Structure 1
């Protein structure tokens, strides 16, 4: 009798535990779904007018490619010829159709901060991501700080897209009634040594990024000689034959003087020189500009902190790939001649020293 009661009570206890477990399943499932929703979904940051969802990137794979020296060396193991004539850059560019001209208009990407009367034109591989972030911050400091963003986030999606952006200097002048004669607005642009910009651009576009098709990097892959020769040819075709088909590589390698409507607006711009260590040249020059435009000290410190202590996620500085390509380029007068012919007016107008022998 007592045994039967014991069996019965055990069954009741087991049945109760079973019912409890079954009842907990939906709760457990709901908790799991909530966890996935909160922690696994792509992060979205909201502004007044747009949603920004960073694009997925395999940053580990990108870093591996910039450290894979065996493949890079193998693709660049060929001997390089000497220069045909050892003449100066000035003499070289006096020759007909030898060098890219100054007066071409390729692309203009303007960012404005109206409350501080600031206009900045960004150029690929000349701190364009970070300056886009800085100008978006100055456009609305409160909104930017509330978003929790860093300037590098602009690489995945621009918070101020279509808000503070213009595609010509004239459109900015018209929008804010900026005179050509006397005004308190500033027009600025970050410039970069043409050799450093080229190597950084090449590593960024042709090494860091996985090759997706045969036309990327002019079909040259990791072979820098092939790319320099073919990009020079493309540049000259667009310079003199008005070839219209352009690539993302072109945007990163065409002369800086072709940007920002400088063919007409050069005298109205002030130029800030990029430096690998932001504290060396760039930040002091930018700080001077910000102070002249009465930007609050708190905002200046925010910008300085972003530029000095936060590195762009697609930076190539310090990578083995960049060191290798830079060294190979600087040791080859043959390759340097192409660089001079492509960027002669960048060297000249932005006051960068020409390579030895030119």
Structure 2
């Protein structure tokens, strides 16, 4: 009996040693089986969101009927700012165009703007097209004129790059003494814990209409839910931002061309270009060792990539981003490439953007 007990302890210890590295490295961290539902696109294996069981469903589009809008009425310019999408610099740029003289006299840098102490706080802002129209467009607040006659801008980022930027900023680099536990679901720097709780949280919002904190929504919820895209998608000029070197160059080029197209004076464009290049925002995660560590973790874990694809599925579709390739799924669990007789759980997002 004693020998049997000892053997049981040894067996448990061996099993613990086998699963501990998975926990430590955040790769396929959960002990239960994880099922992959896949498809092939351009010879790449990616997540399949069609005809999958509810527990593996991709998050559908759920429009949020408001956004964070900042305006420069002199140029009929309205921008929707999304967290982790160059938002600090965008809000500062629009503030400068709203009152250039006052902004320059303050000697502020775009990169030094702070959300709670932004230079144009409550002066050029609103949270719906309707409110912006009434406040800044015409005395009668004609929404049709505002929609058709103003220039509407939004900056979009690859969903996974945006997620990593937010996670490293708020959950990894931010000092624990100033960190709000609820900002990261009390997962701290455990990326798998955070991804799983984010998925559950967003699916709860879909099912119950109970929304998360403003912080979580602005920085981690799908971009496609924001900015009233379900109503005004075709009215926006969409510029894609990337923190990668070549992507940043292309972004600055597109932004400069856009400002020229809407007749922003050349001297103001030059001022804006200099502000973009002077300094990065203090909370930027670009080139940080922490970002590199978590990007590597993500690349090595099909579990994380699959979960993020399911969370941000509507972003990938609406903004035409490529799905991340799954490379290691065959080493792990059961795989379904053509699941049958299971109810479809994804809305047809294409109806929103056509």
Q: Tell me, what secondary structure is at the counterpart of 1:270?
A: strand
Instruction: Give structure 2 stretches of 5+ with no counterpart.
Output: 1-20, 40-45, 328-354
Equivalent position to 1:95, from 43, 52, 55: 52
CA, structure 1 residues 215+74, in 2 after alignment: closer, same or farther (shift >3 Å)? farther
The answer to whether residue 271 in structure 2 is matched with residue 302 in structure 1 is: yes
CA, structure 1 residues 307+227, in 2 after alignment: closer, same or farther (shift >3 Å)? same
The answer to whether residue 36 in structure 2 is matched with residue 85 in structure 1 is: yes
Equivalent position to 1:146, from 105, 112, 122: 105
Equivalent position to 2:163, from 198, 207, 212: 198
Match in the other structure for 1:173: 133
Match in the other structure for 1:56: none
8 A Cα contact 1:75 1:223, kept in partner: no
1:135-175 per-position Cα deviation (integer Å, ceiling 9, x unaligned): 00000111111110011222251111111101011222333
Equivalent position to 1:228, from 179, 190, 195: 195
Match in the other structure for 1:330: 299
8 A Cα contact 1:127 1:274, kept in partner: yes
8 A Cα contact 2:173 2:290, kept in partner: no
Structure 1 stretch 209-218 or stretch 195-204: which is displaced more?
Answer: 209-218
8 A Cα contact 2:155 2:239, kept in partner: yes
CA, structure 1 residues 96+104, in 2 after alignment: closer, same or farther (shift >3 Å)? farther
Match in the other structure for 2:223: 256
Deviation above 6 Å: which 4+ runs of structure 1?
A: none
In the superposition, the TM-score normalised over structure 2's length comes to 0.75
Match in the other structure for 1:127: 86
The answer to whether residue 242 in structure 2 is matched with residue 285 in structure 1 is: no
8 A Cα contact 2:38 2:48, kept in partner: yes
1:213-232 per-position Cα deviation (integer Å, ceiling 9, x unaligned): 54341111111011001111
CA, structure 1 residues 348+79, in 2 after alignment: closer, same or farther (shift >3 Å)? closer
Q: 1:307: Cα distance to partner?
A: 1.4
Aligned residues: 286
CA, structure 1 residues 229+182, in 2 after alignment: closer, same or farther (shift >3 Å)? closer
CA, structure 1 residues 321+76, in 2 after alignment: closer, same or farther (shift >3 Å)? farther
8 A Cα contact 1:93 1:341, kept in partner: no
In the superposition, the TM-score normalised over structure 1's length comes to 0.74
Distance 1:323 1:113 in 2: 37
Q: 1:234: Cα distance to partner?
A: 0.4
8 A Cα contact 1:279 1:308, kept in partner: no
CA, structure 1 residues 316+252, in 2 after alignment: closer, same or farther (shift >3 Å)? same
Q: 1:122: Cα distance to partner?
A: 0.2
Structure 1 stretch 148-157 or stretch 135-144: which is displaced more?
Answer: 148-157
Q: Which has the larger radius of gyration?
A: 1
Distance 2:308 2:144 in 1: 37
Match in the other structure for 1:312: 281
